[in-house]
Structure 1
Amino acid sequence: MKAMLLRVGIDTGSGGTLGPIFKDGSFEYIPIPEGYLSEEDKTYGNTIGRKGFPLSTYVSKILKDVGMHFDPEFKTYTYGDPTSKRSSLLRLQKNDLLVFYAGLKPYNQKKEEAALYIIGYFTVKEVIDFNLLSTEEREKYCKRCKNNAHIKRMEILGEEHLDDLVIIMGQKNGSKLLDKAIKISEKGSDSIGRNLHVVSKKMRPIFGFEGSIQRSRPREVKEEYVDKLKNLLFVE
């Protein structure tokens, strides 16, 4: 069994801000803006978060009526990657873990600083490489994954938008958007002095690696560390 960590959610490069985390550790998962034509009808303004306020409460006013790229989605547990030719997610197999983390900043807490937090996870049910599917198989999986943001793009952009797409499907009883985020980073720097989010000292013995996790590329957790990660997440 293996696990991968993957950064998701709105950030300063895609959306101009970070999602909020509150004093009790709860948070709002805020997706990035949708950059393509899509059938997605959820906007930051019309989507109510878990705290009872529109997600537009936490982002720039100019995003209020902008559609969101809900990926991952935690209704039917799918995540899409449109780069299968180089996607490390193809190494995942059934029952592996795909763990999602996001940049979050304390809401109305001036003294606290932004950091990276685990916000949820999938226990893998299936890994779907659309490049390997027939037209009939693609149609079947499009129906099964209709809540995924990339499938909602395809409905407008056409079937060619499925080329190079990988979708990870999570098991219903083994996948979750957490109630409270788990902090995994601390401040660090690279060889030329740039400030970075790096794996915290507390998390290094759990992940089995250290260094920057600021970028969104998946980071693999070696098999011998997966049980520690499962214990952190309370995965059965």
Structure 2
Amino acid sequence: MNPRETGPRAVAINVAANTNMPGVRGPVRPDGTFEYVPIPERRPTREPVPTYADLDLETEIPEAERGTPVHFDPEFPEAGGERYTYGDEHGVKARPLSELERGDYLLFYATLSQVGEPAPWQAPEWGAYLVGAFRLARAPVTGEAYRDLSREERAPFRNNAHVKRADFDARVLVLGDPDGSRLFERAVPLSGRETGTAANRIVTDLSADSGRGPWWRRPLRFDAAATDELLAILDGHAVERCF
């Protein structure tokens, strides 16, 4: 990232169910409402976690996956979580997240399948959409630093999916401020109108990403000026400003 500027910065990362895990995407409707569907939990956990069958989902989960535990990360209270937490064991995401500071933003985007006739601002079939945001309550905690925290300091992360794993593996943990974090009611597009693989101006003009290749799998970085504009788009659900 660039040297610290005036105002918060942001990083957006890809999360949630996809055609690889568990084989379907969550839906997005013409009014922008959507369903947040976690990915499967593929590692042993210290305690039982919900399965897809336990969740009240509109999305039709493949029968072979219905009994699979879910990796509920990011954790959103609006979807049944305890706090706004996120953890990641992959360096490609952990590195840019570790550079954030208190007051910065972690944004989440997901690939979603279109349900019904798409609105004029929606890509047909599927697209990438911003679905939630954390305003950081504190600087991110590295996996090494977490191991040195006191029990009291660890408490806010106790319900995070990586903390629940039998072997803690997060390289970074993020805690969202409840006054500035939320799972969105309506998704905001990152894809163009014509196809899900085409990036709109949030990616090509506001983020540091070129929008070429599989951009919908990469972390997207936003400097202070871009974050300010992006927050205005999100607060007003001003989808016309995405193109």
TM range (shorter): 0.7 to 0.9
Residue among 80, 86, 97 paired with 2:87: 80
Tell me: CA distance 1:134–1:176, structure 2 relative to 1, closer, same or farther (3 Å). Answer: closer
- 2:141 aligns with one of 106, 128, 139: 128
Whether contact under 8 Å (1:19, 1:58) holds in the other structure is no
User: Which residue in the other structure is 2:156 paired with?
Assistant: 144
- Aligned: 1:224 with 2:230: no
Q: Does 1:68 align with 2:80?
A: no
Matches for 1:1-236 after TM superposition, within 5 Å: 1-38=8-45, 39-48=47-56, 54=57, 57-75=59-77, 76-83=83-90, 87-107=95-115, 112-126=124-138, 127-133=140-146, 135=148, 137=149, 139-153=151-165, 157-158=166-167, 161-162=168-169, 165-186=171-192, 197-201=197-201, 204-207=204-207, 209-212=209-212, 214-234=215-235
Q: How many residues align?
A: 216
Q: Which amino acid aligns with 1:231?
A: A
Q: Is the 8 A contact 1:198 1:210 kept in 2?
A: no
The answer as to whether partners of 1:196 and 1:214 remain within 8 angstroms in 2 is no
Q: Deviations over 1:189-215 (max 9, x none)?
A: xxxxxx972421465444364314545
The answer (yes or no) to whether the contact 1:130–1:138 under 8 Å persists in 2 is: no
Q: Aligned partners of 1:20, 1:221: CA distance in 2, in Å?
A: 27
Q: Are the structure 2 counterparts of residues 42 and 177 from structure 1 closer, same or farther at C-alpha, using a change threshold of 3 Å? A: same
Secondary structure of 2:162's aligned partner: helix
Deviation at 1:74, TM superposition (A): 0.8
Correspondence for 2:239: none
Aligned residue type for 1:65? G
- Identical residues among aligned pairs (%): 28
For 1:77 and 1:143, locate their aligned partners in 2 and report how far apart those are by CA, in whole Å.
13
Cα 1:26–1:130 shift into 2, 3 Å = same
Match of 1:192 in 2: none
Matching residue's letter, 2:33? S
Whole-Å separation in 1 of the counterparts to 2:69 and 2:84: 20
Check the 8 A contact 1:142/1:151 in 2, yes or no.
Answer: no
In structure 2, give the amino acid aligned to 1:210. S
Q: CA deviation at 1:146?
A: 1.4
In structure 2, relative to structure 1, the CA distance for the partners of 1:125 and 1:58 (3 Å cut) is same
Q: In structure 1, how many angstroms separate the alpha carbons of the residues matched to 2:53 and 2:147?
A: 38
Larger fraction in strand: 1
| Unmatched 5+ stretches in structure 1 | 49-53, 189-194
CA distance in 2, matches of 1:130, 1:93: 16
Do the aligned partners of 2:146 and 2:154 also contact (CA within 8 Å) in 1? Answer: no
Equivalents in 2 of 1:118, 1:234: separation in Å?
12
